Structure 1
Amino acid sequence: MTQRRDDTIFALSSGAAPSGVAVIRLSGPGVRFGLETLIGEVPKARMAALRTLRAPETGDILDRGLVLFFPGPASFTGEDVAELQVHGGRAVIASLLKTLAGLPSYRQAEAGEFTRRAFENGRADLTEIEGLADLVAAETEMQRRLAVRQAEGGLRKLYEDWRRRLIRARALIEAGLDFVDEEDVPDDVMAPAWHEAAEVAIEMAAHLDDQHFGERVRDGFEVVLLGPPNAGKSSLLNALVRREAAIVTAEPGTTRDLIEVSLDLGGHAVTLVDTAGLRETESLVEREGIARARRRAGAADLVLALSDNDSWSETIPEGAAMLRVRTKLDLVDSDSKLSAGTADIALSARTGEGLDHLVRAIGTALDLARPMPAALITRARQRDGISRSLEHLRELEREAGRAIEVKAELLRSAADALGRVTGKVDVEDLLDVIFAEFCIGK
């Protein structure tokens, strides 16, 4: 990404035209000049002002709209920022963008450039920026909640605290090395350093031991439908996604391969997987489908074990999180409906009875109903960085007899690994990848 820091950038930051209102964002050292050129003044900071925007050469009216000015460094990017809220017609937007492009040192922003300037000016770290990207891309309520917490600095606060403590531990060690003969430096000055490093290592290990919960919320949980032929797996899939995603017939073995559908299930991103019916068969194709079903169920976050007769297959993977679902409730007489037998849930895909209960039960079974921690890992990049930092600290514990200088270097490496996660240390090669996720104008 080739960028000049002394340019003033601009972009349409709202949706595509035509629209009721269009928002054009500006950032950079020339924002005040641009406002004076277009409206004849710089409005009072952070107060919406209704102004007429004119072409600088002719004085022709381009539009009339709200103008907001946010002086740096207390702005999103850390620079002077302005927003032009105008009518969302294509001609209005085109004329304003053309006028801005004609101003000295003004250019169209590249993808993610506003957010990148925020990072480079210290307004946000990489974890907050990744949270902002996740917030823009969020499709479910759980994804939104997780992204908001990360964008507000949940991970940054935790990682910066760890880094600060490790840097302090290293400082104590170096004080013991450099000033060992000084009377005001106690002999046991290094003892708190080892204790602090051990405490941080414990906290890191607990943070990593989250069963990838944050990544699951962001990327989606996997729920596998498992059971014998004609138990109602495909019918349930179709009922949940509200379309004919899977073929349903009375003939056993209709589904032979895995059918996957992603959806928002009660506010949670879920991939539903329909599978081949479990039974003994001579068909090589069907046997392969059954083998795939069992493997997929073994790796799933949740298995829905389906049965239409209150008997459950013994081939359900041992230790799998599971809900027993009694299907075809519409075919059961009214007296039998009073009890679901050994099932956790009884339902009818045909009538919809019990489907709401199932959706709630899936959320509970996935442990999404618990209060979400403020700091959850959401990306492999974050997990890798914390893992590397923790490995340096564990090496520090293993190498108790090593020279003090080596231990100090391990502490430095652990702190630097944390710094790379937040963007404090040596992350230039990551920036283009991260900011490429953003749209133009963000």
Structure 2
Amino acid sequence: MAQVRGRFASRLGFLMAAAGSAVGLGNVWGFPSQTANNGGGAFVVMYLVLAFLLAWPALMAELVIGRHGQANIVSSMSLGRGLTKRFGALAGWAGMLTASLILAFYAIVAGWLLGYTAAPVSEALGMSSAASWLTTFDFTRNVTLTAVFLGLTMAIVVGGVRGGIEKWSTRLMPVLLVLLVGLIGYVLTLPGADEGLRVYLTPQWDRIFDADLMLSAMGQAFFSLSLGVGAMLIYGSYLGPEQNLPRLGVLVTLIDVGIAFLAGLLVIPAMYAARHLGVEIFDAEGLLKSSDTLLFDTLPALFAQMGGAGDVLMVAFFALMSVAGITSSISMLEVPVSFVVERGWLGRRAATLAVGAAVMAVSLTIAANFGALFGLVIMLTTQYSQPLVALVMCLLVGWALSRHALLKEIQSGAPDIESSLFWKIWPWYVRLVCPLCIALVFAHSL
């Protein structure tokens, strides 16, 4: 097993890969949408607080399991003895299945993003029929673009940890950041954007302790770090013993919430700029329209009214979203691929092709029965399975690993950790507080 396991070549490589996994469509699009519907700046404040009170400790649990196990998700979660070990292994299987199912529907949406990225270019080249096909909901178009997106993901994962995941994460994350900052700079000059900026940055303090807002912020902070699907566990298993896990966890969380905050500076002002031009962004109840409507109807309508500059902005915006999608999808595909490789069933290339084909088959099934399966798969994975797997991870670290084993694992990269405030709080925090908070989020989602 040791012969087939990779390892990150540098701390930067891990940070870019882990941040890329966390910074997906849920951050770049989900966070701004949640903010606009939950008190604006009040939601931002609560999200930032809970990202470090809940998400970071839970992230630490997943990283610890990964580096301690130095193996795939099923093997790493087989902690303890007897029933506890079997229960952990079962949760590992559930996490691997969850990651695969999320990737199946995620690839469909990401395929649409590729289509919207290419459409203005096709139009500029005089291929109007191709541009229309790229942005029209259709089974053939959905399947084709899904296959393209999964193909890109597989091409990266087949290269392994250093030659694929680390190499491309360190390239794609700076591209994502440059696109994000550049788009923010332009959008903030548009008429109406200042209103969106006020909504985003001005907290409604009377709502900050609203129960629904707090639970929504807790859920967003938790899920924005890709917890509960095994991605962070697998990336943690590729870390050497010399790496300081608490410090890396803080840095990943900072990058994640930082990019989420920047995404809000882009999306919410852009929505209000669209409203200024007459594009309706709210429904009859005064809430933002659904995320897919805003993403694939509202913003393209804004870009369409801006002439040639709008075409450039549309390409840049959807390229940004596509990059965010790919950096997350490679971590989700790596979860089952690492399992197949380490069990000795297939080599990495064959495992990547086999798992990718299996995910494509699920995507094809969802696309063929879109109305019945798309929302159902999202609900089963993100609302049920993902929080439950994350809950088990916290319980395993808190109860199945002895305090001595836990300390020894973290001390390998942080020799002075025993005397720190982190060690005085985190072990009981991840044992009691994190499971309780995750359970509350899960109950709220029901």
Write 1 or 2 for the structure with the bigger share of helix: 2
Write 1 or 2 for the structure with the bigger share of strand: 1
Q: TM-score range by the shorter chain?
A: under 0.3
Q: TM-score w.r.t. structure 1 length? A: 0.20
Higher RCO by CA contacts (8 Å cutoff, separation 6 or greater): 2
